[in-house]
Amino acid sequence: MSESSIVLVLFGSFLALLILGAPVMASLGIAALASFLYLDENPIKLVQIAFNSVGSFPLMALPAFILAGALMEASGISKRLVAIAESFAGPVTGGISAAAILACMFFGAISGSGPATTAAVGMLMIPAMTRRGYDKGYASAVTASSGGLGIIIPPSIPMVIFGISALGMTVPLDAIAKHGEFQSISIPKLFIAGFFPGLVMSVSLMTLNYIQCRRYGYKGTGEGWSTADIRKAMRSGIWSMLAPLVILGGIYSGFFTPTESAIVAIFYTLFIGLFVHRELKLKDLIHSLETTTWLSGRVLLILFTATAFGRILVEHQIPTIIADSMLGVTDNLYVIWLLIIAFLLFVGMFMETLAAIMILTPVLLPVTYSLGIDPVHFGIVMVCSLSIGFSTPPLGENLFVASGISKTPLEEVTAKALPFACVSTIAVIVIAYVPSISLTLPSWLGY
Amino acid sequence: MMNIISKIFDNLESYICRALLLSFVTLLFAQIVTREFFGFSITWSEELSVYMFVWFVFLGSSYAAKLSAHNRVTFQYKWLSPKLRTFSEFLSDVAWVGFNSYFIFISYDFVFNRMNLFWKSQTLGIPMKYIYLILPIAFTLMTIRILQVNYLKFIKGEEIIDPEAKEMNELINSDLPDEKTPNTVEGKL
Amino acid sequence: TWKMAVGDGGGSAQEALGLKFVEELSARTDGKYKADLFVNGQLGSEQATVNDVSLGTLDMSILASNNLAPFAPALGILSLPYAFENIDQAETIINSDIAKELVEAGINQAGVRIVAWSYSGFRMLTNSKRPVTKLADLEGLFIRVPKSDLIIKTYQSFGINPTPVAWSETFTALQQKVVDGQETPYAAIYSMKFAEIQKYLTETHYLFALEPLIISEALFQDQSADVQKAILEAGEAATEYSLSWIKEKEEGIKKELVSKYGMQIDQLEDEAEWASRAQSEVWPAYYDQVGGLEKVNAFLRTLGRDEI
Ligand code: NA
Ligand code: NA
């Protein structure tokens, strides 16, 4: 049976169902099923794939981080972090919108997700910006564009998913023969590697923000920095600032695995919410559990069918074919990176991030292995590229959230967010071209 | 009475999942605490928590189906007439139900006819059969939920909005705080 | 062309066995029959592949015998702690009638046929804290073990409570000192680069890893007599090769662990005590599963050891 006919059945039925509007999970599942039947293989293997793809210990980090994030919101930790960022705004041109970006970085370090970051920051910062005379559309665009930092600055749910998908795959032997041994992947290592790229993305956003604010004439407050405000915000937020420290410190120092650090974060948050801030109600707790339930159920069901889909790719060595044909076009690594990033941006425009990672990792990772790209570096570039997708149409979750909060038309927010997407893209290209941005910190820390 | 039963049925997966989530998170925390502070590790906790997690995921995905929260790509609907749009939504759900039904069949067959009878979980000693049982159960429930959503949509004419869209609507309809909220937050130290 | 799942990664004893088997099979059938290897659990966990092979959705798999034992309990006898005291005893068993009975048990209890065995070496104990030369040194060490009832019970008989950690998290857990040590054969210690993060190694002999190559019995029965013969002969040749492979390999690995990583390798001073504890506390729980005390005694007789 020729490989190209399998590709046709597999990807053809998948895309057809996707366009019809079937759930991503069903589109992948039916495509895998159709391929099994076409290849005359017994589809009963789907049963074990279903059980084993989900039944893994590291994967429990996903519900744990979602729950931790939801509880932090309900316990008043998120809003205190945003308040600290706001108190730093001061007299600088574009100060308050830079503070919004800063808040996204702070919050990015505790929340695992992009839209959650946008919502938490946007609820407080968009009104704060409009009070200082900012245009609502611009205020929303800044928040939506920096919301993606939430998945780059650790902890990050997409990196957990990338790590899980990548751990299940082997390095092709001819890749090792050509490029030598590759470094191993682990979720803590990805988390550490994401730190500097997150900074690069933030700095690029802040630079454009400064330029735009100069143009629009958004000045800071006349009075200068208010040390009283800063002190007040810090005092009120001291327990909240400890939250990212607990999570990141636990992982970086090696005290906990990522799953464990999320678990500890849950109980830390419960403690703060119940006894220190006393803002956490039973109702919120139940609501957080419920949100975690359907979010996890939805994501991990896709993981099941995406694993089946990936299994067919692996068994028929399709990624090798893709890699070969790519190298047939060009063997310039810089050009190939551009192609990969463009492709990821394109996918990110239409598809939800986690689904995209689950589907694309089995396709692209073997390709990048055979090009000699470090797997951790690739994972970071992939997550960074897809993070831009949060603020690009037509499916831009962050844009929806921000325009919803500020009640400005989606088109207006989208138009003002596009320049930010452009600088973010440039930042991603830099991150791709300079591997040491991602790989220096892990090697310093002995990973 | 009928009301209570129907309410329980309506939220069945949600109740079970919340309990499972709470249990395995607590179990993992207990494991960390006993290890770090008492130098003792619970040998069965990893296995038990993973199996609870698997049950949580599959029942949770049935709950997600009930909320019609499963991700779809829908931007192309903008270019379709409402009629055509409804039709392709319906058609895609038919395909989904078809996949699920086939999966229920093979997972039932696997659990009851094909599975090795000696196979037990390693540290708990429970026959794996009972743990795998969640697959036919959850996919059956999920299929019922899909049919339920379509029934409500087409027969009852109700609109099922997924929870994210719902939250978004709430954000849009709520009024923005006028006061400078952040700095009025009192830290209770 | 068949598909063969291999639990361990490239460079492992499992892979060596698989490659040799394919080479021999192909030579005996004029290149008509071959198999592609999918290493590192690409086709699913070792236990999952047993189901797949017995259902015929996968052709062959190489896996640890303790992962086959849940499906064919008789095989549990190979994993009893201190069932083998040295590698020669393992060889004796594989060439005895006991091995033939185990093959039968595999067919009847799990629907898979064992056609070859990989000798994968004794599980060695490593840790990052201190040299372990006697039982008392174990106290206070957190040892990572697989999620296996048998190994957990074995360590409990040595007097400590081990910590089950998923294989995929093991390196991280050791590196981050969530656990102090682990126990796997030399080949795994080498390929996982545990020496980078573990200073002390103790040569222990409580479990010799024998890892069968299984083929779907339904598939085997579908083949002509000639092909069946070729499969079995290829299996025997591969088994023999595996024995010489492991002896040579472990020698080389040991040297490198010391010279390149500066690992300290110690011997046990009181291993008889370890063995007698394991035998008295662990074995009785498994008599039923492996087919009764008589089976165990037959096993010991074959090795010329004292019966219980
Ligand atoms: Na984050
Ligand atoms: Na998008």
Taking contacts as CB-CB distances below 8 angstroms, the residues of chain A near B182 are 79-80, 82-83, 86-87, 124, 128, 233
Across A342-360, average pLDDT: 86
Cross-chain residue pair C168–A56, CB shorter than 8 Å = yes
Contact criterion met (CB < 8 Å) for B135 and A33: no
Q: What is the pLDDT of residues C6-64, one digit of tens each?
A: 988 777 889 999 999 999 999 999 999 999 998 877 787 888 899 899 988 899 999 99
Cβ distance of A52 and C44 shorter than 8 Å: yes
Q: How many CB atoms lie within 10 A of CB C244?
A: 10
Residues C51, B114: C-beta atoms closer than 8 Å? yes
Q: Residues C151, C207: contact at Cβ < 8 Å?
A: yes
Q: What is the mean pLDDT of residues B87-94?
A: 93
Whether the CB of A302 is below 8 Å from some CB of chain B: the reply is yes
Q: Which of B18, B88, B168 lies nearest to residue A20, judging by beta carbons?
A: B88
Size of interface A-C (CB pairs under 8 A): 65
B118-155 pLDDT tens trace? 888 877 888 999 999 999 999 999 999 999 999 998 88
Distance between terminal CA atoms of chain A? Answer: 43
Number of residues written out for chain C: 308
- Which residue of A lies nearest to B32 if distances are taken between CA atoms? A260
Residue ranges making up the domain that contains B138: 2-164
Any CB–CB contact under 8 A between B43 and chain C? yes
| Residues linked to residue C37 through DSSP beta bridges, in sequence order | C4
Question: How far apart, in Å, are the Cα atoms of A324 and each of A7, A175, A306, B168?
Answer: 15, 12, 23, 45
- Helical H runs in C3-148? 13-28, 46-55, 65-68, 87-94, 97-105
Q: How many domains does chain B divide into?
A: 1
Chain C hits for A170, Cβ within 8 Å: 9-10, 39-40, 42
pLDDT, position B178: 38
pLDDT band of A221, cuts 50, 70, 90: low
Reported as a single tens digit per residue, the pLDDT across B1-60 is 678 888 888 889 999 999 999 999 999 999 889 877 887 778 788 889 999 999 999 999
**Residue B63, domain member (yes or no):** yes
Average pLDDT score over residue span A404-419: 87
Describe the crossing of helices A61-74 and B12-38 by its angle, rounded to 10 degrees.
100
Contact between chains at B116 and C71 (C-beta distance less than 8 A): yes
pLDDT of residue C192: 80
CA atoms within 13 Å, Cβ hemisphere of B103 = 34
Q: Does A56 touch chain B (CB under 8 A)?
A: yes
Name the residue with higher pLDDT: A362 or A433. A433
Spatial separation of the C-alpha atoms in residues A137 and A139, rounded to whole Å: 5
Q: Give dist(CA C8, CA C10) in Å, integer.
A: 7
Which of C52, C173, C178 shows the shortest C-beta gap to A48? C52
Q: Which of B41, B47, B115 sits opposite C163 (nearest CB)?
A: B41
A contacts of C40 (beta carbons < 8 Å): 170
| Cβ contact, residue pair A170, C55, below 8 Å | no
Q: Tell me, what's the pLDDT at B181?
A: 35
pLDDT for res A224 = 64
Assess if residue B188 is contained within a domain.
Answer: no
DSSP A50-74: HHHHH--GGGGHHHHHHHHHHHHHH
Chain pair B-C, CB pairs under 8 angstroms: 52
pLDDT tens readout for residues A36-93: 999 988 899 899 899 988 988 888 988 998 898 888 888 888 888 888 888 877 667 7
Compute the distance from residue A386 Cα to the ligand 2 centre, in Å. 8
Distance between CA atoms of A42 and B9, rounded to whole angstroms? 35
Q: Does B85 touch chain C (CB under 8 A)?
A: no
Compute the average pLDDT of residues C248-262: 93
B176 pLDDT band (50/70/90 cuts)? very low
Confirm whether the ipTM is greater than 0.85.
no
Q: With an 8 Å Cβ cutoff, are C55 and A58 in contact?
A: no
Residues of C in contact with B40 (CB under 8 A): 161
Give this prediction's pTM.
0.85
Task: Answer whether residue B24 is part of any domain.
Answer: yes
**Which whole number is the average pLDDT over A182-208?**
90
Residues of C in contact with B123 (CB under 8 A): 147, 149, 152, 164
Q: What's the gap in Å between A346 CA and the centre of ligand 2? A: 8
Among A99-113, A265-279, C85-99, C188-202, the range scoring the smallest mean pLDDT is: A99-113
Task: Answer yes or no: is B186 within a domain.
Answer: no
| Among C9, C5, C13, C22, residue whose Cα is nearest residue C61 | C5
Q: Exposed e or buried b for every residue in B110-147, given b needs 16+ CB within 10 A?
A: bbeeebbebbbbbbeeebbeebbbbbbbbbbbbbbbbe
Q: Where are the alpha helices (DSSP H) in C78-178?
A: 87-94, 97-105, 149-157, 167-175
Chain B: touching chains (3 or more CB pairs < 8 Å) = A, C
| Test the C interface: residue of A45, A190, A445 with most C CBs within 10 Å | A45
Contact assignment for A21 to B99 by CB distance below 8 Å: no
For C182, the enclosing helix (H) or strand (E) is strand C181-185
Contacts of C148 in chain B (CB under 8 A): 122
Q: For residue A383, give the nearest of A419, A416, A324, A427 by alpha carbon.
A: A427
In this structure, the strands spanning C60-62 and C200-203 are unpaired
**Residue whose entry in the numeric block shows the structure tokens 């002969």:** C233
Interchain CB distance below 8 Å, A405 and B181: no
| Ligand 2 centroid from CA A391, angstroms | 6
Q: Considering the domain boundaries, does residue B53 fall inside one?
A: yes
Does residue B9 fall inside a structural domain? yes
Asked if residue B61 is part of any domain, the answer here is: yes
A57 neighbourhood in chain C, CB within 8 Å: 166, 168-169
In the prediction, which pLDDT does B130 show? 93
Contact yes or no for C9/C42 (Cβ under 8 A): no
Shortest alpha-carbon distance between residue C84 and chain A (Å): 33
